[in-house]
Structure 1
Amino acid sequence: MAITPIKELVDAAKAEITSLSQEEAETKVAAGEALFVDIRDPRELEREGRIAGAFHAPRGMLEFWIAPDSPYHKEALATDKTLILFCASAWRSALSVKALQDMGVENIAEMEGGFSTWKKRGAPIETA
């Protein structure tokens, strides 16, 4: 059995999810319509910085933190706001948005380009 190449999985996920441009995402968050959810590893946040106000939900805990019946549920993620997920380069976030959609989460999107593009375009970041 051959393993599906990761790029194919990401492309398939992106075909079924909402991807917002960096500017669209930033505008929705600024308007109070959305919440940035940073799914990067804690070491990435320490090394690269973070977007101010973004909720940190490590990829490995995301489904557990979203599910209301989970003992690990985080109330901050139980919101009517659109959850805009991002990682470093929008691969993990695409797969994560697809997984959450499959769970029944409707108010969900990802930010194109991820944190690396955010940083490259000079958008504001916080460093430790």
Structure 2
Amino acid sequence: MKTAADMVAEARARIEEWDVARLRATPDAVVVDIRDVRERAKGFIPGSVHAPRGMLEFWWDPESPYHREVFAGPGPFVLHCAMGWRSALAAATLQDMGFGIAHLDGGFEAWVAAGGAVEKPEAKG
């Protein structure tokens, strides 16, 4: 049986990983937050695009009826989740589909630990 950790390790061995310093040094990077809406509600990287992992393939694929134009751009695109596991798997999947993609090593936790700015959604009501 293959574990989730095994799958993440295999994905990380073949995808491009960025650290926080590289992300900060690349102002034209499109940061894609693949966490679920409850996680994002607690805070997110300013300017990031929210794309829940469950919709990535459909939103990215220009042939899909669910395609989102934001993903048709030149990028570079950098996925992130909470700690980098889900984004590694998602990056590998999008790479398999033929897209150039990277992920943020350590995810949102690494961003926060490095002193990265965090934006909170506006309160509704």
Q: Same fold (TM over 0.5)?
A: yes
Q: Which amino acid aligns with 1:46?
A: A
2:38 maps to which residue?
A: 43
> Matches of residues 77-88 of structure 1 in structure 2 within 5 Å?
77-88=71-82
* Structure 1: segments with no counterpart, 5+ residues: none
Query: Would you say 1:123 and 2:121 are equivalent positions?
Result: no
Cα shift at 1:64:
0.3
Cα shift at 1:92:
0.3
2:107 maps to which residue?
A: 114
> Secondary structure at the residue paired with 1:98?
helix
How many residues align? The count is: 121
1:56 maps to which residue?
A: 50
1:18 maps to which residue?
A: 16
Q: TM-score, normalised by structure 2?
A: 0.93
Cα shift at 1:102:
0.4
How many percent of aligned residue pairs carry the same amino acid?
44
- Following TM superposition, where does structure 1 have runs of at least 4 consecutive aligned residues deviating by more than 2 angstroms? none
* Structure 2: segments with no counterpart, 5+ residues: none
CA RMSD of aligned residues (A): 0.8
Deviations 1:54-91 (A, max 9, x none): 01000000000000011110000111111100000000
How many Å separate the matches in 1 of 2:48 and 2:25? 14
How many Å separate the matches in 1 of 2:107 and 2:3? 20
How many Å separate the matches in 1 of 2:110 and 2:95? 24
Query: Would you say 1:101 and 2:95 are equivalent positions?
Result: yes
> Secondary structure at the residue paired with 1:19?
strand
Q: Which amino acid aligns with 2:15?
A: I
Q: Which amino acid aligns with 1:18?
A: E
Q: Which amino acid aligns with 2:56?
A: L
